[in-house]
Structure 1
């Protein structure tokens, strides 16, 4: 039996699994996870995992393999994955959280399948309609949190209100800030902007007595400017914003690289400014924001980007260890109870 903070790993989920998964754990233990008392249950094909563990001594010393040859394909539909899911590396990784063997599960596998299995095995928190995916977003003062980024393409006002509560608790647990600010993403900050759902969610959050630091409507540029900690939106809008931000960061990187290699003088300038350029590259690196949390479940599940590398996977593990080492689930329950107690006194009118 493993001791310490145990993380359950779906080793076979991801575009380059299990190689990236194992090397990601090794990178984590050598860098951000250095000194953390973390251990890993690795679910996957032992024949593929043992050669990788032979080359990653830190991971080998902190891990135990739970063998399974069954895998959920990255392109499998959620319904198909559910029918064939039991006994797969993804299913077993989540089940380890359900049984209490592990504090948190991490997978870079099929998002739809992971969400469906997580809901089935862990169930929803009392009163939560549907889970949301919360993503970290780099901005000028560190990281913000945006939710939902894909789990719920359409949301009503009550769901957006729940997302605000869930996102606020997540931010407090991850970044240790007592009163993170919350904004509702809209097409403008004026009070009359937005559709009926956005207006209803805004009204309920504005008159809430939960003690949330709700600052009102925010616009898309506020996501990156660092003026707000938690930005709430529906999954359709959030996912487009997330992918747009990732693409913009990659494009800027290409522009900068091209400009610095344009001629001899620019190459000399890039050598002189190399330390500053490395700092800027790190600030813009989307891998460092990898790791989305499924909010609203009776357990902690982290979704890593399927196409990430070892550095990105290590970032997802960093989120996992912070959540495992916090009172996040208890804080969520306390805040949700207060939210639902308030429901009888808050009327949300949706035309």
Structure 2
């Protein structure tokens, strides 16, 4: 029985959420699973007292609906600990910065510094930076094209201008990319053509920054997902705006300009930076998307073992194999991000990763994917 019983008055029919309860497991029935007895609040004279009631059978979960509140219990994979038992563990989570990952894993300040230095040295390379920027622009172009096809012409004048700006930016990046193939000479032997050096001296990353500002003006009134990602990369563009973009210079100068991009970005981007996290997501998965989970789960240390456990969950709308596979991949990306930061921080303890998926009418089973364990559960109401 809980030590504290809320002393609140209420009227019949009022929906209330009771966060405090205790439970005991009844006799096992092979045809139904495990019987669950719960101590539930009961109204007596306008106040709460406690009564014991058997709420039903469920093999691994007990879902209790009391008014609008829903209590979910899951202990099997938690080694006696209640997984997703608190309201905070059932909150959705959007991972969009290294700081949020480090806070979730309770990483110390010294280890965060190590994580930032290690990540910056890898994800701020010129090819990663350029690839992430082009990926965001191409995905934004797809969003704009779809809107133009499904909207009235009068409402999309600014969007049409934005579409032209995106095409111009992609063309500009393509033309300014350095090709290491030259006729009758290798790249490291190619001399600098003095006549074109002055003509293209104005081609800098600052030009791309101006294009991004124009896109913001044309597309801000529309809710484009990748526009937000593009604006987050302005932080990096501001740091490298003086670096040249020129495909007519010699090989050594090209390498110097690429090194400047790497050095400036790695020096100025910090852990809370959305730009740094965008580069990290592209570095790990080859595409730019936020990492989202429906239930953030919990992070805890298992008793009597030098092992930490991280569990996250996702709710599916269908038990179709394709939908389940997609949910597993989404959870794998989320867990993989936390695993990458954990290993980069140099943590000595092992990290046990668990993914949980719920779907109405699903057959309960265990799935192993890329070394991680995922549990598919039937959603009981």
What band does the TM-score fall into relative to the shorter chain? under 0.3
Higher relative contact order (CA 8 A, sep 6+): 1
When normalised by structure 1's length, the TM-score is 0.25
When normalised by structure 2's length, the TM-score is 0.23
Which structure carries more helix by proportion? 1
Which structure carries more strand by proportion? 2
**Bigger CA radius of gyration:** 2
